[in-house]
Amino acid sequence: MKADMKILVPLNNERDVERYAVAGADQFYFGFFDPEWTTRFTHSADINRMSAFGTRANRFSFENAKDVIRTIASLGKDSYVTFNANVYSEDQIEFLGERFYELKEAGVTGVILSDATLVSKALSAGIDAVASTMMAIYNTDILRYYVGKGFKRVIVPRECSIDDIKIMHDAFPDVEIEAFYMRNGCLYSDSNCLIDHHFGGLCTDLRRRKGYLSMSEDSAVDEERLREALKLFDEKLFSGIACGHCALYDLYHAGVRALKIVGRADRNDSVLKDIETTQRNLEVVGEAGSKAEYLSHMIKPDAYCVSGLNCYYRG
Amino acid sequence: MDKENALSFCDTVFPAFNTLMWEAELGKRTGINRIFVGSYFCECYFLRYEKFSFDELGKWAALKSLKVSFVIPIVREPDLEKAKDVVRRALACGFIDEVIVNDVGMLDYVSREYDVKIFLGRLFFKNTRDSRGPFPRTGDGINFYSSVYNQLLKDYAFAGIEADAAALDMDFEGMPEDMVLGLHEDLTYLTTGRMCAFAAAGLTDDRKFLPDEPCKLECVGNAVTYSLEGGIIIKAGKTCYCAARPATVHGVTRLRSITTVIGWGCDYEG
């Protein structure tokens, strides 16, 4: 029996809905582009954090997005639309509030928000509000504030450990916790990364650059070890892929109920493979009586383990 | 416009009071009337303040007629109570008149527990701050006094907000007149790592790059500079900075200019 955890997957092609669902996807998330938004607020204003990647990450227009939501609903699955840009102005918040009503009419389950002022708009429209990693929910004090604002589900930052997550779950057992699980594991903190992806991500850009190390005269750090560590960080760490399979048993017992597979701009076949593996491993978790039993029966995607540094929840 | 000048000793120098070095840094500048201690970006660094000589700092600051702000970073769950202990210890000394918080949890805690002025730090408003590429992409046209602040004002009192000089024209229309804008004018924050590359230098291979692994402050005094089209990026500890913009601010009546002591082994001219 499959453990009670939802597999949340990125969607950039409507034709993938059915095969992703058959493979095990329970929930879908995506963003949209909106010419009306661009006309009104210019290209400088993002609807979501992936707007900088253009239609590669946001394939759907607003009208397409509503069709996709209907398709997903017809299969009995959940849909979430991302509104997690760095900043929204008051005008933009009003604009999005109107869009929420249309999304609700199409049957959307929830919206992923980076701005707490959007919560009341979502709740007014009858849509669930999900706190994006942009909300930087690193501890129970921060979580308490956002729960008070009406969030029923939160995405915990990638750098939260399983112990951190368990403490948050125990403090707020009614809040649904979504955790990062597969694919791109950015080196930087989603919650506080304020670079502009229109110019490329630092995580990939700095890999191609030679850095100049400057050390103070009284630095106590061994220069060779420091250079080695910096090189490893820039060149090897999370080189495009990240994985949480070995931690699945612990994530389940920590209270995580939604597993986020990222990669809205990734190849569909790769995403599909990750859904299949996750589904299989959820079945193993459901049957396993212990972590050791899970680890001995789980599918281990060897390709992800090459550097030994690609684990989301290495402990 | 009222203007105040602050010097930050946060994150880039060893978190211990050092009269000689601190006076030397003050001597390089004129008109400084406030200093910042604490951390914006790193809880490992911040927790070192549990052994900081606050009394010594208080006496020195009084002698120099300096006001002192205490900066608190976002901390992860395991360090939350330890961080609160540090805050308690710092504020018990009585001379810190202002706390700068960077998340709503700490804003709530400090508001409830202490009678002290609160500023919302540079991580509260998440506008992009990238020196690469042309200016308009990264902030011109954005109202930096966002609805987020108005929502927070319904629940909390705060005396000011902070921003990084990241655009040519920074509009703060709507900001209450008595509110202070603290503007970081030399180094602009860009991003922070999930884990620290510098700390890895002091760790065994199996512990490298774990977000919660305690460090030995390998970051202090060291930095890496990368040249990119349109600017440079400086990686210091977990944090990446770029050069600030020569910004003009609008809609502000009380401005605080903030510069940061550069603790690594080269001169950096922003």
Domain residue limits, chain B: 2-187+244-260
Average pLDDT taken over every residue of chain B = 90
pLDDT score of A239: 62
A214 within domain boundaries: yes
User: What does the DSSP 8-state code read for residue B143?
Assistant: B
Is B267 a residue whose pLDDT tops 90?
no
**pLDDT below 70 — which residues of chain A?**
239-240, 306-307
pLDDT score of B177: 94
Say whether B109 and A141 touch across the interface (CB within 8 A).
Answer: yes
A30 within domain boundaries: yes
Q: B211 to chain A: nearest residue by CA?
A: A159
pLDDT score of B179: 97
pLDDT score of B268: 43
- A130-139, B7-16, B97-106, B142-151: range with lowest mean pLDDT: B142-151
* Rounded average pLDDT over B219-233: 86
A144 in the same domain as A226: no
- A·B CB contacts under 8 A: 220
* Both structure tokens of B51: 């052994």
Question: Strand, helix or coil at A150?
Answer: coil
A207 in the same domain as A89: no
Q: B213 to chain A: nearest residue by CA?
A: A315
pLDDT score of B206: 82
B109 near A141, Cβ under 8 Å? yes
A220 in the same domain as A79: no
Distance from C-alpha of A41 to C-alpha of A244, rounded to nearest angstrom: 38
Say whether B210 and A315 touch across the interface (CB within 8 A).
Answer: yes
Rounded to a whole number, what is the distance in angstroms from the first to the last CA of chain A?
27
Please list every residue in chain B whose beta carbon sits closer than 8 Å to the beta carbon of residue A161: 76, 78, 211-212
Q: Which of A221-225, B107-111, B199-203 has the highest mean pLDDT?
A: B107-111
Say whether B201 and A314 touch across the interface (CB within 8 A).
Answer: no
A172 in the same domain as A95: yes
A257 in the same domain as A135: yes
- A-interface mutation test, from B191, B217, B239, B268, most A Cβ less than 10 A away: B191
pLDDT score of B257: 97
Is B136 a residue whose pLDDT tops 60?
no
* Both structure tokens of B50: 């549990």
Say whether B221 and A161 touch across the interface (CB within 8 A).
Answer: no
- To which residue do tokens 């060149």 refer? A235
**Residues in a beta bridge with A243:** A182, A311
Question: Strand, helix or coil at B169?
Answer: strand
A260 near A181, Cβ under 8 Å? yes
* Both structure tokens of A198: 């229109």
Distance from C-alpha of A31 to C-alpha of A12, rounded to nearest angstrom: 9
Pairing label, strands B117-120, B169-171: unpaired
Please list every residue in chain B whose beta carbon sits closer than 8 Å to the beta carbon of residue A167: 77
A85 within domain boundaries: yes
| pLDDT tens digits along B149-172 | 988 999 999 999 999 998 888 899
pLDDT score of A200: 73
Query: Per this entry, what is the length of chain A?
Result: 315
pLDDT score of B264: 77
Amino acid at A281: N
- Where in the sequence is the domain holding A285, given as residue range(s)? 6-186+240-305
A62 within domain boundaries: yes
| pLDDT tens digits along A53-75 | 777 778 899 999 999 999 999 99
Q: Cβ atoms within 10 A of the Cβ of A64, count?
A: 14
Question: Strand, helix or coil at A79?
Answer: strand
* Rounded average pLDDT over B219-235: 87
pLDDT score of B270: 36
A108 in the same domain as A226: no
Nearest to B108 by CA among A148, A302, A29, A47: A148
A37 within domain boundaries: yes
Residue B240 or residue A236, greater confidence: B240
A147 within domain boundaries: yes
Distance from C-alpha of B163 to C-alpha of B167, rounded to nearest angstrom: 11
Q: Whole-prediction pTM value?
A: 0.95
Q: A232 to chain B: nearest residue by CA?
A: B197
Rounded to a whole number, what is the distance in angstroms from the first to the last CA of chain B?
24
Q: What angle do CA B16, B20, B24 make, to 5 degrees?
A: 110
Task: Give the closest-approach CA distance of B148 to chain A in angstroms.
Answer: 6
Q: CATH number, domain at A281?
A: 3.20.20.60
Among A139, A143, A219, whose Cβ lies nearest the Cβ of B222?
Answer: A219
A41 in the same domain as A171: yes
Say whether A189 and B192 touch across the interface (CB within 8 A).
Answer: yes
B168 near B140, Cβ under 8 Å? yes
pLDDT score of A42: 77
User: Predicted confidence band at B194 (pLDDT cuts at 50, 70, 90)?
Assistant: confident
The total domain count for chain A is: 2
pLDDT score of A285: 98
Architecture of the domain spanning B2-187+244-260: Alpha-Beta Barrel (3.20)
Among A138, A187, A220, whose Cβ lies nearest the Cβ of B76?
Answer: A138
A275 in the same domain as A136: yes
Distance from C-alpha of A207 to C-alpha of A186, rounded to nearest angstrom: 12
A204 in the same domain as A273: no
Residue A289, CA distances (Å) to A277, A282, A284, A294, A296 in order: 20, 13, 10, 8, 11
Distance from C-alpha of A244 to C-alpha of A304, rounded to nearest angstrom: 10
* Both structure tokens of B44: 């490992």
pLDDT score of B139: 59
* Rounded average pLDDT over B216-238: 88
Q: Is the CB of residue A171 less than 8 Å away from at least one CB of chain B?
A: no
A155 in the same domain as A107: yes
A80 within domain boundaries: yes
Q: Cβ atoms within 10 A of the Cβ of A235, count?
A: 12
Task: Give the closest-approach CA distance of A166 to chain B in angstroms.
Answer: 10
Please list every residue in chain B whose beta carbon sits closer than 8 Å to the beta carbon of residue A142: 74, 103-105
Please list every residue in chain A whose beta carbon sits closer than 8 Å to the beta carbon of residue B210: 314-315
* Residue A258: φ, ψ to 5°: -140, 130
- A171-180, B59-68, B196-205, B260-269: range with lowest mean pLDDT: B260-269
A144 in the same domain as A106: yes
pLDDT score of A218: 77
* Rounded average pLDDT over B116-126: 95
What number of H helices and E strands is found in chain A? Answer: 12, 11
Distance from C-alpha of B18 to C-alpha of B12, rounded to nearest angstrom: 14
A141 within domain boundaries: yes
- CB interface of A with B, residues 177-216, below 8 Å: 186-189, 191-196, 198-200, 202, 205-206, 209-216
* Both structure tokens of A84: 């997690």
